[in-house]
Amino acid sequence: MGDRLDFLRKALKRLQETDDICVEAVSSVYETEPVGYREQPDFLNLAVRIDTLLSPEILLSELQRIEKDLGRKRTRRFGPRTIDIDILLFENQERSDDRLSIPHPRMKQRAFVLIPLRDVMPDMSEVVPDDAGVRYYCDMDLPSCENDSHSPAKLPPD
């Protein structure tokens, strides 16, 4: 699986470098025992909060492109993977179709999702279920947001 933390670092950097995405906050990294298929290393999870002008569909395509570039092979579901990037929430939107469900349908039962999410959304009202098995691992630097194409156009002085 290579260096697990390195995949997260690379994904975060790629996300920050994507046009029209600005990563505003990143949670701590948490280590979690795998659910289901257990013959694999523990997972590392983090959550980010982004500012974006992209639609949820285009955002999903960008996330899937990053997964692909980082060498994700789609093999066994819930099995070993280099990286998995999901959309948890998108403003207050709710939707459920073949390609995209928001909020992420399984997030509410998953402490390994809600615990990092709480780091970047301190006002979060979700109750975090039993957090056994989710261990603080480390903190991650937030790469600075260099592209500012998402920012409102700067007006010339009067």
> What residue ranges bind ligand ADP (CB under 6 A)?
60, 74, 84, 86-87, 99-102, 104
Residues contacting 82, CB < 8 A, separation 6+: 1, 2, 7, 67, 70, 71, 72, 73
126 lies in the binding site for Mg ion (CB under 5 A): no
Least separation in angstroms between CB 153 and ligand ADP:
31
Q: How far is the CB of 40 from ligand ADP (least distance, A)?
A: 13
Indicate whether 84 belongs to the interface with Mg ion (CB under 5 A): yes
**Which residues on adjacent β-strands are paired with residue 23?**
50
Residue closer to Mg ion (CB basis): 58 or 149: 58
Q: Does residue 6 belong to the site contacting Mg ion (CB under 5 A)?
A: no
The yes or no reply on residue 86 touching Mg ion (CB under 5 A) is: yes
Part of the chain binding Mg ion (CB under 5 A), chosen from 3-11, 77-85, 114-122, 132-140: 77-85
List 19, 69, 84, 131, catalytic entry: 84
Minimum distance, C-beta of residue 156 to Mg ion, in the bound complex (Å): 43
Q: Taking the C-alpha atoms of 21, 22, 27 and 31 in order, what is their torsion angle to the nearest 10 degrees?
A: 40
Which helix H or strand E contains 102, and what residues bound it?
A: strand 101-102
Do residues 111 and 129 lie in contact, with contact meaning Cβ atoms separated by under 8 Å? yes
User: What Å distances lie between residue 102 and 66, 89, 95, CA to CA?
Assistant: 20, 6, 5
Active site residues: 72, 81, 84, 86
